[in-house]
Amino acid sequence: MEIKTVGVVGAGQMGNGIAHVMALAGYEVRLNDISQDALDDAVARITQNLDRQVSRERISAETRDAALARIRTTGQLKEIAGTDLVIEAATEREDIKHKIFETLLPDLGPDTILTSNTSSISITRLASRTDRPERFMGFHFMNPVPVMQLVELIRGIATSQETYEACLKVVENLGKTAASAEDFPAFIVNRILMPMINEAVYTLYEGVGNVNSIDQSMKLGANHPMGPLELADFIGLDTCLAIMNVLHEGLADTKYRPCPLLTKYVEAGWLGRKTQRGFYDYRGETPVPTR
């Protein structure tokens, strides 16, 4: 099947990035969110990012204008149900994702492919609550979407080869690279990345190093472009904790136990950049470590 229209559920950091790259690749995009403010902010962010690409001569002004013209926003979930491909990019909570797919089901086209941008939740379990588990798979973009080249494609136990190949073609049309992952907790990238971040938080919790020394050690000693605590703030500490909980519960191994300090920061509402405080305080001109 040929995919021409894409519905994106959720206009947050991931959703607006997905809408951006899809529209730039020539797909007609319908972007949905329950918040009109979120939709307005998403269009502003997409416009800003496309303008940046024009200023760096990566795309032309005409290409930018054509991409923006392909994006329509809506507060009604059912208005995206008729697209060829739906990508759910809502918050990383399984109950919310089930509710979204449940709401979409009555209005879906017969051939519509359902996908989730989840970073850790079982694709098989999400698919089992729909009427088309064979046309359901994980479509996991990396953040920030316009910059990162990888997309994880995760098959549930019932995902058909036709569905996989249709999604693979979309990834190729975006100019990105697909990595096929099996449906195990956190898939590939986060199965490796999140325990490293969690261990960095334990290193801080146990007083082995402070925020600066831990991040500098990994940047200068392991050649990482961003320290693990800085990266955790960028991702969102609530997302990091949610993924660690999925790993801990799904694999039943104590090595995935979330660090109590990570839990404490989330309970305090210090979620990283999006709340202006996490392992760094972002309220001033330059980030300041909070420990």
Q: Which helix (H) or strand (E) covers residue 16, if one does?
A: helix 13-24
Q: Which amino acid is at 46?
A: I
Residue 251 CB partners (closer than 8 Å, separation 6+): 184, 185
Question: Could you read off the pLDDT tens digit of each residue along the chain, which spans 291 residues?
Answer: 789 999 999 999 999 999 999 999 999 999 999 999 999 999 999 999 999 999 999 999 999 999 999 999 999 999 999 999 999 999 888 999 999 999 999 999 999 999 999 988 999 999 999 999 999 999 999 989 999 999 999 999 999 999 999 999 999 999 999 999 999 999 999 999 999 999 999 999 999 999 999 999 999 999 999 999 999 999 999 999 999 999 999 999 999 999 999 999 999 999 999 999 999 999 999 999 999
Residue 101 CB partners (closer than 8 Å, separation 6+): 88, 114, 126, 129, 130
Q: Is 276 annotated as a binding residue?
A: no
Indicate the SS3 state at residue 232.
helix
Q: Which of 88, 122, 152, 230 is the catalytic position?
A: 152
Cα distance between residue 131 and residue 127, in whole Å: 8
Q: Is 152 a residue of the active site?
A: yes
What pLDDT is attached to residue 2?
A: 87
Note every long-range contact of 221-228, with CB atoms under 8 Å and residues 24 or more positions apart, other chains counting.
227/200, 228/196, 228/197, 228/199, 228/200
Q: Is 284 annotated as a binding residue?
A: no
Q: Which of 49, 122, 140, 230 is the catalytic position?
A: 140
Give the strand pairing for 150-155 and 85-88.
Answer: unpaired
Main-chain dihedrals φ then ψ at residue 151, nearest 5 degrees: -130, 125
Q: Is 13 annotated as a binding residue?
A: yes
Q: Which of 119, 120, 122, 198 is the catalytic position?
A: 119
Q: Is 116 a residue of the active site?
A: no
Q: Is 143 annotated as a binding residue?
A: yes
Q: Is 190 a residue of the active site?
A: yes
Q: Which helix (H) or strand (E) covers residue 288, if one does?
A: strand 288-289
Q: Is 11 annotated as a binding residue?
A: yes
What residue has token string 């020394």? Answer: 213
- The closest alpha carbon to 258, from 267, 270, 246, belongs to 246
What residue ranges define each of the domains in the chain, with the CATH number in brackets? 5-182 (3.40.50.720), 191-289 (1.10.1040.10)
Q: Is 12 annotated as a binding residue?
A: yes
Q: Which of 32, 116, 120, 190 is the catalytic position?
A: 190
